[in-house]
Structure 1
Amino acid sequence: MARRGNRGVLLVVPSLILIFMFLVFPFFYSLYYSVHQTYFFTVGRFSGLSNFIEVLGNLENIKSLGRTLVLTFSSAAITLVLGILLALWVNKKTGITALVIQSIGLIPWVTSMVVGALLWRWIFIGDLGLFNYIVVLLGGTPISLLSNAKNAMMSLIYVVSWRTIGYAMVLLLAGLKAIPEELYEASEIDGATKLQSLTYITLPLLRTSLLVTAIVLTLSNFNNMTVPMVLTGGGPGRSTNVISMELYRQAFVYYDFGIASAMSSLVFFFNTALVLLYVRLVKWSV
Structure 2
Amino acid sequence: MDSLPPRHLCIVGALWIAVGCGFLVETIAELIHGHFKIQLGFLAIPIGHGILVGRSSSRKWALFFAGVGLALTVGGSAWLAYEHRRDGTPLEAPDSTAAILSVALATAGFLYVLWVLTRSSHLPWFAQSTAAEERPSVKSLAWAVAVVAVSLASAVHLETRQVEEIHARLRPVSVRVRPCDAATGKGLNNISYQIKTPTGTDDSDLWSAPRVNTRFGSDSDGRFIDIFGAAAQSFEVTLGSDGFAEKVITISSESPSDRRIPLQPLKPAQAKSEDAGEKTQGPGLKRDL
TM norm structure 2: 0.26
Instruction: Return the structure number with greater helix share.
Output: 1
Choose between structure 1 and 2 for higher RCO, CA contacts under 8 A separated by at least 6 residues: 1
TM norm structure 1: 0.27
Larger radius of gyration: 2
